Every structure is written in C-alpha cells, then in structure tokens.
Structure 1
Amino acid sequence: MARLQALAPKLSQVEIAVEIFKALGDPTRLRILHLLSQGELCVCNLAAALTMNPSAISHQLRLLRTQRLIRARRDGRRIFYALDDDHIERLLAEGFKHASHR
C-alpha cells in the first residue's frame, strides 16, 4: 500500500491538471488550440477562421494564457499567439486521435 501511495501524483499536480483539462473542455478553446497547433496566429486570423467576434477570441486567449497553454509575441500593433510547448501539441494530437477512433 505504501508503494502505491508513493506512486500517486501529488495533490498540487492533480489540481493543476484539473485546471488544464477544464480549459481543454471548452469547444471554442479547443478549436483555438487546434488552429494554433498549425502555427502562430493573431486574434484577427482566429476570429475569421472561427467566425467569431475578436473580443470573444481575446477572452478565450486570456484564459488559455492563464493556464500557460499558449504564449504571445508582439509584433508592432499585433499580438501573435502560439502553443506554449510541444507537450500541449502532443496532448491535442492524442486527444483528436482518440476522438477519431470513437
């Protein structure tokens, strides 16, 4: 039993993972992340691709940044967004791969 307890994730890790999966659980945020897995995009590109209001996209991007799922880079007046790291890209790829098998 002690060995199993040692293998269990720390509560703090579980809480962080729960917040990440909550962020991934929203259809709009998941669509944004999928587009960002193709490359860096600005709010205007995302809004056009998803036929959504830019302010609604910005709100979702803010939530994704809070969870450190995406990063931002300013270029003049525009801000470009990308996935934060390859862990997120793999997580998305596996999620969509799993969904295609259902």
Structure 2
Amino acid sequence: MNADSGGCRRRLPDDQTALVVEVFRMLSDATRVQVLWALVGREMSVNELAEHIGKPAPSVSQHLAKLRMARLVRTRRDGTTIFYTLENDHIGQLVTDAVFNAEHAGPGTPGHHRDSADLRELHLTTDAEVTAAQRKGFGT
C-alpha cells in the first residue's frame, strides 16, 4: 500500500499493538484465511462462501462472526440473505500479501507471477494476436 518509510520507525501504542495482535490471531486459522481470501475484491453470502471453501455453512458462519467482531468483515442485507465483504482495502492487501508470500515459499513460479504473465499475454493489439491467443485457450 502507500505506507511511508518513516512510519515503521515509530513505536506503536499498546492499544494499537493489541489490535494488530488480534488481526494476526484471526489470520492464524486456515478456514478464516480461506474466507478472507475468497472475499478479496467481492462479496459473498455464507452459503456461497461455504461452497467455495468446502466447509459446512454453520462452521463458516461461526468464523464470519469472529471476523466481524474483529472488524475484518462487514455485512450487507438483501432480503433474507446477508452478504459479507472485507472491512477495508488494508485487510485485502494484508491477506493478498500473505498468500503471495506463501506462494514464494513453494517450488516453481509463484501463482501470482504466472497470472501476471497470462495477463500480459492477453494484452493484445491485433486480430492475429487475438486469434492466436484464442487457439491457446485464452479469452474463450
């Protein structure tokens, strides 16, 4: 994000430190990480999240309640359905950075680098390039 380099040198007040520890405590559970990762850039209902991460809806609902109490997610009601989104862009960036960091620990090219290469390849300017990309399976 846009953190200035001098900001990291200041001592955090104890109350802020406690909040940071709480955020990391919320991120110490695999199901909650999966939920937060699924919510980066979109909103989803409990049932959509449960299906997406392969966990029972009641379990996902309990994790969402903890994430909401920790102010990492927020809700929006549409009729009888409640949709969840990340509380702010900083949470999304934190989760994304953690996932990308983990990808670097594995073998081969990290997934986020492969995705970037695919996007660059899709940035095409001529019909011939588009046709060639479609033959490769892109954009179809």
- Answer whether TM exceeds 0.5 for this pair: yes
* Number of positions where the alignment pairs a residue of Structure 1 with one of Structure 2: 97
Consecutive unaligned residues in structure 2, runs of 5 or more: 1-8, 106-140
Distance 2:86 2:10 in 1: 30
Matches within 5 A, 1:1-102: 7-102=10-105
Indicate the SS of the match to 1:101: helix
1:3 aligns to what? Answer: none
My pick for the range that moved more, 89-98 or 22-31, is 89-98
Indicate the SS of the match to 1:74: strand
Indicate the SS of the match to 2:76: strand
The RMSD of aligned alpha carbons is: 1.2
After superposing on structure 2, the runs of 4+ consecutive aligned residues of structure 1 that deviate more than 4 Å are: none
User: Identity of counterpart residues, as a percentage?
Assistant: 36
| Larger-gyration structure (1/2) | 2
Normalised TM-score (structure 1): 0.90
Normalised TM-score (structure 2): 0.66
1:34-92 Cα shifts (integer Å, max 9, x gaps): 00114100011011112221111110000000111000000000000001110101111
